[in-house]
A = this chain, B = another copy of it.
């Protein structure tokens, strides 16, 4: 886990440049940070690492000017950036594996450090579910919990609306300044003024489908527990529930009649071990047991392995072809790769890092990797 430390403004700018550089995701970010000791040193190493990974044209390292512009735009917007090592970073989010190295936030700091409960559910919610969501969100808010959600239509909106006064956190799929969805423009504005907005994507980013699982993972990551109000069997809310379970957070689900197709997802969650929630009291009673979230995920975070001594170039060049051979477009766990290749973790991680920076590798949740299709 990252030690808690404020970043100087130049360090933070280096962090921003590093995470905005081509092919650098959170896993790689922490790996580079561990190996090179600072984001500044990692930035210098990027071009050679990418070449080692087979990259022909040079990797695009985020220029300082671009990072400065993003930071300024965020300040002009009234926001700020918080690094995962900094004290204002949401404490439970920091515990997940590979938390966003930097989040853009707008809102009072205390909304990100108090106990938070995520409320999620379907976009096409029933009137009954919307009413119930408002009851839960207001009730939990009154008991002092911050409510986190994803600012989508339906359940998310009802949850934010009812917790505006008590404290609401909206995690956005795109940039913090981008209004999405259009019909929630007024609510988003209200949250910007009274609550807290959080975004992982760069300022100005239009949200795309691939951003939403990451957003969901942040909602559950911020939260002590999540509450699923209503969900069809293929709903994105079930993905949030899965993340929550993987992150060791409690999952509550509201039951519904078998006659109601929108209750199928939540009933299924209950069948599979989620806690049945009928009322705010149910949730408060469970939270009061004080077990709290497990503070480690099943996968040890990769950055825990770093800094490792850099493997010798001879070792790496011998191992590269074998690793490439073992990889395919089907995700495989890194542990499996270590076992099958009989190479040291530092060798494997270095080769994967190079390959990722060269654009040849995709990372998947659960410490799995595949060749880019």
Contact = CB atoms under 8 A, between A and B. Distances in A.
Interface stretch (A97-105, A140-148, A215-223, A253-261): A253-261
Q: This chain: how many copies in the complex?
A: 2
A200 B362 CA distance: 69
Nearest to A256: B257
Contacts of A263: 255, 257
Contact of A256 (B132, B256, B275, B277): B256
Contact of A270 (B128, B131, B264, B270): B270
Interface in A211-266: 254-260, 263-264
A189 interface: no
A271 B276 contact: yes
B254 A278 contact: no
Nearest to A282: B271
A269 to B, nearest CB: 10
A258 B254 contact: yes
Contacts of A257: 128, 132, 254-257, 260, 263
Contacts of A260: 257
Contacts of A267: 255, 276, 278
Interface of A: 128, 131-132, 254-260, 263-264, 267, 270-271, 275-279, 282
Given A256-B256, A257-B260, 9 more contacts: A128-B257, A255-B255, A255-B256, A255-B270, A257-B257, A258-B277, A258-B278, A270-B276, A271-B282
Q: Which 4 A-B pairs rank lowest in CB-CB distance, beginning with the nearest?
A: A255-B255, A258-B278, A271-B276, A256-B257
